[in-house]
Amino acid sequence: MKRLPPQAGEWIDRGKPLRFTFEGIGYEGYAGDTISSALLAAGVRVLGRSFKYHRPRSVLSLANHDVNALMQVSSCFSVPNVRADVTPLAEGLRATAVNTIGGVARDRARFLEWLAPFLPVGFYYKAFHKKSQFPFWERVFRRTTGLGTVDFSARRKGSPKRYAFCDVLVIGGGPAGLAAADAALRAGARVALVDENPRLGGSGLYNLGGADGERQAEETRRLAAIAAAGAVVYVSSYAAGYYADHWVPIVTPGHVVKMRARAVVVATGAYEQPAVFRNNDLPGVILASAAQRMLARYSIAPCKRAVVLAANDDGYRAARDLAAHGVEIAAVVDLRGANSRGAVPPGTLVLEGHGIHEALADSQGALRGVRVAPLARDGTLDGYQAREFECDGLLMSTGWAGAAPLLYQAGARMEFSAELQQFVPAACPPGVYAAGRVNGVHGFAQKLRDGAAAGRAAAAQSRKPGSVDGAAPSCRQERAQSGMPSHPYPIFAHPKGRNFVDFDEDLQLKDFFNAAQEGFDNIELMKRYSTVGMGPSQGKHSNMNAIRVLAKILGRTPGEVGSTTARPMFHPVPMSHLGGRGFMPERATPLEGRHAAASAVWMPAGQWQRPEYYAVENQTREAAIRAEVAAVRGAVGVIDVGTLGKIELFGRDAGAFFERIYTAKFAGMKVGSTRYGLMLDESGVVIDDGVIARLGEEHFYFTTTTTGSATVYRELTRLNAMWRMEVGIVNVTGHFAAINLAGPRSREVLAPLTALDLSEATFPYLGAREAQVAGLPARLLRVGFVGELGYEIHVPASGAAHLWDQLMKTGAAHGIRPFGVEAQRLLRLEKGHIIVSQDTDGVTNALELGMDWALKMDKPFFVGQRSLEAMGRLPRKQALVGFTLDEPDTGMPKECHLVIESDEPAGRITSIAHSPAVGRVIGLALVAPALSKVGSTLNIRIDGGRMVRATVSETPFYDPKNLRQKQPETA
Amino acid sequence: MTCPINGPRPVSEFFYHGELRPMPDPQAATDDAWADYVFNRNGAPGVKREWWYHLPSGVWFIAERDTATDQVLRTYLYSDAVAEAVQ
Amino acid sequence: MSETALRLSPLYEAYREQVADWAVVNGMTLPRAFGRSGLPPVTLSDVSALARCGCKGPGAADWLVSQGVPVPAAFNSWTATENGLVARLAASEFLIEDARAERIETLTRELSKGRRSASGPCYPVLREDAALLLAGPQANEVLLQTCNIDFAGLDLATGPLVMTSMVGVSVLVIAQKRPTDVAYRIWCDPTFGCYLWRTLLEIVRELGGDAAVHTL
């Protein structure tokens, strides 16, 4: 291999030499080279070692359809599994082949090939049915087959994704894709064009066929310029997959673009397929298109003396390209019979009806010659009549497989065309169009016509969906003019084997026959048992041949055998691209800063962060919480309850609406009062609770639990979409802030801030008032909450901080303390208040809570009523009870510890805490009805299997008559 | 998914509530019939009328979706469907 | 500093450490300057101090007209007024914004009295939104990283309004055509305001922009 003289259109910039090393040896290439092309130009023959047998390998496709040249590449840090064929060369790059022991030249693992008879297909399924052997072998396998090493010092790189939008997305920048983009641009569509390569043009710029190709290249360049000027072009980028409604992630070098198109043209081309014969994997045996890429893009002669194995017109074009660059052609070997041959330079030997019996290796393991044999009537090669030809390059051009994963993912119906010997789309879903080789259209002029038709149809569809669907491709003529570009069976057995179908997995022809013999004779089973197509190339160069082999074994057509599912991603996508920027919404009340200033220790509550408690210097967490609790019971405390859901209900039917959604009665509520509300779902299960305030005849304002606000609002609006009552439902959860002032001194703290008469007579327990507080329009509710005199004050969110500051200021003289969620939980537990979704779960119904006073079954209808009625007739399954621990020192149960009765679970703890006011450990538990009577004993099993005893008791535990919150002057 | 009011939006902006199922008269239904309504769902594939909700705007609507192919045939407001049915 | 004004912006906590100079607008404490000069490619500003209110219901459109408030005819559209704007959200909900607080106070007062028109009732909606202004030649780039809506493809002449999800938060977005660029107004629930501000500002800074003060 050598570098040819400069030519127009080459991708390398000879003015910018780059130095790099491979396997420790220094080389020089140019900007524009890939790692492989630079090594080929330098005459390196072995670029890697194969996965299983460690055979020497070099380029096969030079198109990322194989991974023969897989390397570990270091610049600042080391990257494993770099595909050298398509990775740009950089100054100072250091590369080594992966999967070798001792380097690619003298890989010590190459002896594995001698063990091949003991490593048949699927041997690992059979060899390791005893666990004891596996750890040893696992270590051996990891050493001999592991690909690459991870560099943990690699810098973390974020690559934020971005959205993009277009009318027509054209995937593939070859002749068909460029023609489609041109047609779509002319039709006025916004076009985006994606191509894997650094430059547009595809095969239009390398599959030249000698001197004639200049016109083709010119036309390709013209179309490429139009695309570059009018479309948004992504080069060195690929479409990773097709997702519903024309959503295509485009992987660019820096980040992922999430493209939504109105129509998509898939012009992704085809993968050239290797022929299968003995030693078809030797360095020097390459696909014809790879040779053409070497010549046109990198100005590299693939060899000095070539043999071309052809079964189509492309093979002859490649032969002419070789000759045009001065490569000697020893012979063109045509698998087809007479009269199929294409044009060759004068004097070229063409052997029709012949094939390659065997490729021959030199002492390095690279190609030195081939044995060419005539084809017998049965399609096999007659080895006895073989002739030997010396060559250091063998080009294979025997067939294509459409690069159709995106079409499959889009739901196109594919069929096998016997004329083309290729799977092609029979019907594409609306808005998806195929063009070019993937559509079964080969030949330059045909591709341009096919692409233009697809582009026009896509543009029309994008303007008016449904105008043109992709059902029947109007490409019959173009396909007919393509001849038979793929040989039906370019696959030849040999007694000594080493005829490879899948180069990633080192799968030979006999492996498929063995797998079928073992019963894995269905394409899905064949794939998984043999692992064909499961390597890094994901079947790009191997699936079609595997289907052909299986078809032959079964005596069926490839169409009948079918194809396995092609899933995203088209090429491996780096995790850094997928990671991007993470968006995790955080919700905060307007008092966040005040809490932080008071040394709040935060705890998550859904998307919110709430103060768990406020840290005090030299005080433990428990002590700080106890102090907060004591402040509320003894003086006054203040807590931010702004995370509660808050909903306004207006309108003539507001009261009637409440009647239907809550269990209690609301229609007759007095204006200026509040009531507790329990909300059920249709099955009678408790889903939420809250306080409802009636602020006017047609104005209610109510709260929901923190986690329930969105769900409740959503369900209420859905119900009213059905019931069509005259109500207005407004979710003001974030727009109102709420602060609860609680404790015997709360009246004294609030009074200076408002003109509202706070006396017991004018603002009694369970009252609701609207008034100015601290200069802000406020709603005040007197509710049970923590069991002390208290006021829940709701103000517009922007005023919350001011209100908090004023309360703290006037409260200072009374010893006011902010208190957090832990203190609130304990204070409420002392009153026996439930926490929906802690003391209840997904199946706890209202009857089990012992809150019959809240269930007004005589109402005409409320959600859950009918189910409660049915369940009321059935035996109860559980009941929520309060309990106190008998002996405080035997151990502290936690939530969800079980109550055990007769060796069986009979309930569980839902809430538990030590109560300073009561002086005991108190809690709530859901228990079997037999244990629910006051005075019953509960045996609770705690960590370590120990049992502690508790007694069912009445609730509230503290101030059972609720005097402190109802009649604070008398309490 | 195409919201009847907001137009086409990414499907992640929506919440799916379930199939539109008429509630039997609670007074008239037997316990068995009521339990069937509350707990059982129709799992067979086919075109179903479903409740969908657009989260950013709070719009509830009905989508007719072929659950075998996941194709949405049309979307409309519940009130429009009721008005249509009445006519 | 903040103790003097009655109202705080929902975004106050997100940027208070970067501001030394404060002002009070419509009773709300706002930054007077963020301390950067020049014309950045994209800026993010807090315009929460603009007075606003909302209303909804079958009679909302007619009632607003009766109050002299121009009402856009199309769903999901907005129209500029002398000192602000009126946005029609979905079918029968409206957001009214005005630099003059008294105008909004009047409307709010009237609404709270229980309004009806011939088409039906009209209910008040308290709006304490976090309101942001994203402006500059690179503003659309910020949206492309955060929001799955094709803003560049909108016909701004019709005044479209988009309710969508941005970085996981429900938002209301409109685009205002200006002489040299397009400015985007973004509203969200105030409790998500700080998160939205911080997230957008990080992207704004990556593009070479920064927070800025917008004179109301």
Interface test with A, best of B11, B12, B25, B34 (most A CBs within 10 A): B34
Alpha carbon of A722: minimum distance to chain B alpha carbons (Å): 7
Interior CA angle at C158 toward C157 and C161, to 5°?
Answer: 115
| Nearest-CB residue to C165 (from B5, B13, B59) | B13
Residue C18 included in any domain: yes
| CATH assignment at residue C23 | 3.30.1360.120
> Considering only alpha carbons, which residue of chain B is nearest residue A682?
B38
Which among A265, A221, A291 is positioned nearest to A63, based on CA atoms? A291
Range with the poorest average pLDDT among A234-238, A737-741, C150-154: C150-154
A467 pLDDT band, cuts 50/70/90, is low
- Going by the DSSP 8-state scheme, the letter that residue A34 receives in this structure is B
Chain A to chain B Cβ contacts (< 8 Å): 34
* Contact yes or no for C190 and A805 at CB 8 A: no
Asked if residue C37 and residue C81 are part of one domain, the reply reads: no
Question: Of C125, C144, C172, at which residue does a domain stop?
Answer: C125
CA distance A480 to A363: 47
Asked if residue C197 and residue C148 are part of one domain, the reply reads: yes
In chain A, residues with a C-beta closer than 8 Å to the C-beta of C152 are 165
Asked if residue C22 and residue C34 are part of one domain, the reply reads: yes
CA distance A662 to C54: 27
**CB interface of A with C, residues 674-693, below 8 Å:** none
The pLDDT of residue A468 is above 80: no
Residue C186 included in any domain: yes
A469 pLDDT band, cuts 50/70/90, is low
Residue C142 included in any domain: yes
A616-624: average pLDDT: 95
- Going by the DSSP 8-state scheme, the letter that residue A433 receives in this structure is E
For A475-536, give the DSSP string.
Answer: -HHHHHTT---S-S--B---TT---EEETTTTEEHHHHHHHHHTT--SHHHHHHHH-TT-ST
The pLDDT assigned to A838 comes to: 92
Asked if residue C102 and residue C87 are part of one domain, the reply reads: yes
C36 pLDDT band, cuts 50/70/90, is low
Residue C2 included in any domain: no
Question: Of C125, C140, C165, at which residue does a domain stop?
Answer: C125
At B31-80, the pLDDT tens digits run 999 999 999 999 999 999 999 999 999 999 999 999 998 999 999 999 88
In chain C, residues with a C-beta closer than 8 Å to the C-beta of A642 are 191
Which among A684, A696, A691, A688 is positioned nearest to A728, based on CA atoms? A696
Scored b (16 or more CB within 10 A) or e, A247-264 reads bbbbbbeebbbbbbbbbb
Asked if residue C133 and residue C120 are part of one domain, the reply reads: no
- Neighboring chains of A (3 or more beta-carbon pairs < 8 A): B, C
Interface test with C, best of A798, A804, A809 (most C CBs within 10 A): A798
Do A779 and A703 touch, CB atoms closer than 8 A?
A: no
What is the value of pTM for the model shown?
Answer: 0.91
Asked if residue C68 and residue C21 are part of one domain, the reply reads: no
A411-423: average pLDDT: 95
A534-562: average pLDDT: 96
Q: What one-letter code names the amino acid at A552?
A: K
**How many angstroms separate the Cα of B27 from the Cα of each of A526, A964, B23?**
60, 43, 11
CA distance A911 to A839: 7
How many C-beta atoms lie closer than 10 Å to residue A902's C-beta? 6
Asked if residue C31 and residue C134 are part of one domain, the reply reads: yes
Do A530 and A122 touch, CB atoms closer than 8 A?
A: yes
C53 DSSP β-pair partners: C96
CA distance C82 to A158: 45
* Contact yes or no for B6 and C90 at CB 8 A: yes
Residue C24 included in any domain: yes
Return all residues near A136 (Cβ < 8 A) that are at least 6 apart: none
At C38-93, the pLDDT tens digits run 678 999 999 999 999 999 999 999 999 999 999 999 999 999 999 999 999 988 89
A666 pLDDT band, cuts 50/70/90, is confident
Question: Of C65, C91, C125, at which residue does a domain stop?
Answer: C125
Q: Which domain holds residue C75?
A: 51-125
Residue A606 zone, left/alpha/beta (φ > 0; ψ -120 to 50; rest)? left
The pLDDT assigned to A155 comes to: 80
The pLDDT assigned to C183 comes to: 94
**CB interface of B with C, residues 25-54, below 8 Å:** 54
How many C-beta atoms lie closer than 10 Å to residue A790's C-beta? 29
In chain A, residues with a C-beta closer than 8 Å to the C-beta of B22 are none
- Of A792-806, A878-892, B69-83, the range with the highest mean pLDDT is A792-806
The chain-wide mean pLDDT, for chain A, equals: 93
Residue C140 included in any domain: yes
Asked if residue C108 and residue C37 are part of one domain, the reply reads: no
Asked if residue C135 and residue C42 are part of one domain, the reply reads: yes
The pLDDT assigned to A337 comes to: 85
Q: Which domains does chain B have, with CATH numbers?
A: 2-86 (3.30.2270.10)
Do A695 and A779 touch, CB atoms closer than 8 A?
A: yes
Residue A495 zone, left/alpha/beta (φ > 0; ψ -120 to 50; rest)? alpha
Provide the strand spans (E) within A916-957.
920-927, 937-941, 947-953
The pLDDT assigned to A646 comes to: 97
The pLDDT assigned to C1 comes to: 42
* Contact yes or no for B10 and C170 at CB 8 A: no
Alpha carbon of C89: minimum distance to chain B alpha carbons (Å): 8
| Nearest-CB residue to C57 (from A588, A728, A776) | A728
Number of domains in chain C: 2
Residue C157 included in any domain: yes
| Nearest-CB residue to B6 (from C76, C148, C171) | C76
At A918-952, the pLDDT tens digits run 999 999 999 999 999 999 999 999 999 999 999 99
SS3 content of chain B, % helix, strand, coil (to 5): 25, 35, 40
The pLDDT assigned to A471 comes to: 45
**Percentage above 90 pLDDT, chain A:** 84
Residue C204 included in any domain: yes
B48 DSSP β-pair partners: B65
Do A201 and A173 touch, CB atoms closer than 8 A?
A: yes
Instruction: Give the ipTM of the model, two decimals please.
Output: 0.96
Asked if residue C135 and residue C201 are part of one domain, the reply reads: yes
Asked if residue C136 and residue C110 are part of one domain, the reply reads: no
**CB interface of A with C, residues 686-725, below 8 Å:** 696, 698-699
Which helix (H) or strand (E) is C155 found in, with range?
A: none
Return all residues near A467 (Cβ < 8 A) that are at least 6 apart: A460, A461
A222-237: average pLDDT: 97
The first and second tokens of residue C165, run together, are 């999800």
At A286-339, the pLDDT tens digits run 999 999 999 999 999 999 999 999 999 999 999 999 999 999 999 999 999 877
Return all residues near A876 (Cβ < 8 A) that are at least 6 apart: A847, A848, A929
| Nearest-CB residue to A592 (from C13, C56, C145) | C13
B8-32: average pLDDT: 95
Interface check A157 vs B, CB under 8 A: no
**CB interface of C with A, residues 69-98, below 8 Å:** none
> In terms of DSSP bridges, do strands C77-80 and C28-33 run parallel, antiparallel, or are they unpaired?
unpaired
Do A587 and A604 touch, CB atoms closer than 8 A?
A: no
| Nearest-CB residue to B56 (from C75, C91, C165) | C165
> Considering only alpha carbons, which residue of chain B is nearest residue A715?
B17
CA distance A679 to A662: 5
The pLDDT of residue B86 is above 70: no
In chain A, residues with a C-beta closer than 8 Å to the C-beta of C150 are 163, 165, 260
Range with the poorest average pLDDT among A686-700, C13-27, C179-193: C13-27
In chain A, residues with a C-beta closer than 8 Å to the C-beta of C148 are 163, 258, 260
Which ranges constitute the DSSP H helices of B11-86? 31-39, 78-86
Asked if residue C12 and residue C38 are part of one domain, the reply reads: yes
A256 pLDDT band, cuts 50/70/90, is very high
